[in-house]
């Protein structure tokens, strides 16, 4: 369809195509936006003929930023109105709007509560003044326990709000007012608005947003804000709703799940919440992601490793294994401490899955540091390893560090360690041959075991009766890199 045809055909319709980039946290944010849009009278349309394309961007690293820009430009070529939201839009605001005139509006997180009105403005040709970016950590009290009453828009935590008032609006009685569209979470009191955009048996569930850590390489806290936990009742309500939508595995997501509850006055709240989530009818597996090794206390290790219905899976943000370099990153730990942590985990759950990401080429990294990391990887027996080359992120402390490595050297180190990681994770998968695994069947003949998170850790090809949406017990007979082949024993 030509641009002119598209404009003529869709000018009188309030239809929106929602494109999500980046992490699972963004996926939850998009599902909140989808629910808010439908409750405001907008229809979701993925046919390629929507009036507006709303892109929930990622602004984490250079590659993600480029992908976001390319997606916005491609959307503009379709002839639809284009709106940028998400992390890239929040982080750059007016600067992004000026450099990308193809976008009809650049929205802040603060626009989410009135997203329907913002798109109405775009359709009517009313100019939207882009925001000036700010450090969102300053919007909330410094003391975590004082944050729960603050009136700040936090994506993925949204309640139904009266436009412009900032106050929660009670849901209407069940027999009054328009019904929410099918697949939209009902809102009463503090419960969030959400509409599932996928249909698989696994779904992310936001545990918290923001981060109070001050890693010298990371810009996320500045545009995502200080740490804010969702209340357990909200999380449990949403888990019940997800189960009713056919979800069998919930993946708890946040910037740092180990900090959950500190702003609610109970740093051990996750240990209490996990068995409650696992007991939700219909939810067969709960997975926790984004754990900080320095905050991983023994009680939480035990809860994840031994609670029935909770995957013994540890997504640990090691980032490196050289003690001196980690201090320079404003992080804690070293090879010996990290290996000791893995020993604690495997003493409770020998088959536990462990994944981590690592930054290579950080300013001041020596060949000895790289060797220390290689030794750690060789001893750690990790199931999944991500290796990323360092790049400066504006606004971070590391931008001003000395000892910067040239791009060719960083690329070389990334290539060497990535090759090692591929070999080691394949070896770890081979260790699972002969073992029994519980596989969530996501497609005919395909699924994931407890040690595999969605999309990032490989999968399991199944032989035998394996109904989609069920967890089946299977025995591993072959490994193909990080992927496994298994024969179903029974349900």
CA 402/CA 327 separation, integer angstroms: 15
Closest by CA position to 83, among listed 59, 63, 62, 112: 112
Q: Phi and psi dihedrals of 299, rounded to 5?
A: -65, -35
Task: Report the sign of the C-alpha dihedral through residues 274, 275, 279, 283, in that order.
Answer: positive
> Which burial class, exposed, middle or buried, applies to 120 when counting CB atoms under 10 A from its CB (0-12, 13-18, 19+)?
middle
CA 192/CA 377 separation, integer angstroms: 40
* Alpha carbon of residue 69 to chain centroid: 20
DSSP H or E stretch at residue 449: none
- 87 is annotated as contributing to ligand binding: yes
Place of tokens 């959950």: 260
CA 371/CA 355 separation, integer angstroms: 20
Residue 51, Cβ neighbours under 10 Å: how many? 24
- 470 is annotated as contributing to ligand binding: no
Residue 381, Cβ neighbours under 10 Å: how many? 15
CA 55/CA 84 separation, integer angstroms: 5
Whether the CB-CB separation of 450 and 353 falls below 8 Å is answered with yes
Closest by CA position to 42, among listed 153, 160, 123: 123
SS3 per-residue string spanning 364-430: CCCHHHHHHHHHHHHHHCCCEEEEEECCCCCCCHHHHCCCCCCHHHHHHHHHHHHHHHHHHHHHHHH
Residue 443, Cβ neighbours under 10 Å: how many? 12
Across the beta sheet with 313-315, the strand order is 313-315, 353-360, 384-389
Q: Phi and psi dihedrals of 121, rounded to 5?
A: -60, -45
- 272 is annotated as contributing to ligand binding: no
Closest by CA position to 134, among listed 94, 165, 166, 103: 94
Tokens of 443: 């497609």
Place of tokens 């180990």: 258
- 278 is annotated as contributing to ligand binding: no
- 403 is annotated as contributing to ligand binding: no
- 211 is annotated as contributing to ligand binding: yes
Residue 351, Cβ neighbours under 10 Å: how many? 14
Mark the binding-site residues, compressed into ranges: 23, 58, 87, 211, 215, 218
Mark the binding-site residues for [4Fe-4S] cluster, compressed into ranges: 23, 58, 87, 211, 215, 218
């Amino acid at each position: 369809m030509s641009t002119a045809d598209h404009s003529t055909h869709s000018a009188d319709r309030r239809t929106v195509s929602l494109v999500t980039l980046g992490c699972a946290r963004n996926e939850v944010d998009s599902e909140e936006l989808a629910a808010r849009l439908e409750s405001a009278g907008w229809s979701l349309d993925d046919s390629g003929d929507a009036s507006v394309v709303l892109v929930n961007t990622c602004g984490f690293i250079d590659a993600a930023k480029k992908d976001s820009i390319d997606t916005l430009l491609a959307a503009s070529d379709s002839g639809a109105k284009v709106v940028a939201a998400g992390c890239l839009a929040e982080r750059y605001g007016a600067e992004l709007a000026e450099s990308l005139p193809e976008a009809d509006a650049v929205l802040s997180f603060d626009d989410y509560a009135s997203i329907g009105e913002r798109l109405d403005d775009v359709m009517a040709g009313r100019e939207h003044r882009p925001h000036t970016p700010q450090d969102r950590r300053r919007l909330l009290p410094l003391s975590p326990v004082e944050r729960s009453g603050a009136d700040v828009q936090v994506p993925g935590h949204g309640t139904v709000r009266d436009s412009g008032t900032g106050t929660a609006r009670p849901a209407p009685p069940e027999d009054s007012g328009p019904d929410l569209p099918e697949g939209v979470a009902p809102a009463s009191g503090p419960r969030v608005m959400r509409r599932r955009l996928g249909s698989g048996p696994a779904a992310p569930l936001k545990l918290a947003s923001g981060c109070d850590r001050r890693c010298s390489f990371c810009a996320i806290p500045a545009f995502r804000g200080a740490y804010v936990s969702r209340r357990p009742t909200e999380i449990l309500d949403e888990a019940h709703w997800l189960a009713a939508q056919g979800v069998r595995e919930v993946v708890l997501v946040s910037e740092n799940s180990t900090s959950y509850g500190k702003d609610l006055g109970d740093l051990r709240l996750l240990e209490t919440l996990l068995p409650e989530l696992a007991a939700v009818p219909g939810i067969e597996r709960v997975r926790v992601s984004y754990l900080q090794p320095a905050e991983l206390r023994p009680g939480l290790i035990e809860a994840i490793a031994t609670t029935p219905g909770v995957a013994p899976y540890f997504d640990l943000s090691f980032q490196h294994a050289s003690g001196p370099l980690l201090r320079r990153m404003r992080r804690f730990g070293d090879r010996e401490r990290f290996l000791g942590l893995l020993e604690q985990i495997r003493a409770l759950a020998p088959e536990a899955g462990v994944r981590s990401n690592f930054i290579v080429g950080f300013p001041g990294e020596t060949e000895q540091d790289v060797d220390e990391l290689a030794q750690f990887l060789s001893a750690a027996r990790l199931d999944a390893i991500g290796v990323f080359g360092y790049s400066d992120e504006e606004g971070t402390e590391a931008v001003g560090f000395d000892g910067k490595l040239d791009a060719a050297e960083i690329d070389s180190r990334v290539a060497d360690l990535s090759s090692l990681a591929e070999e080691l994770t394949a070896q770890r998968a081979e260790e699972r041959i002969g073992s029994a695994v519980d596989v969530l069947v996501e497609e005919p003949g395909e699924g994931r075991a407890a040690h595999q998170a969605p999309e990032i850790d490989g999968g399991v090809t199944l032989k035998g009766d394996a109904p989609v949406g069920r967890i089946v017990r299977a025995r591993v007979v072959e490994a193909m890199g990080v992927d496994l082949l298994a024969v179903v024993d029974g349900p």
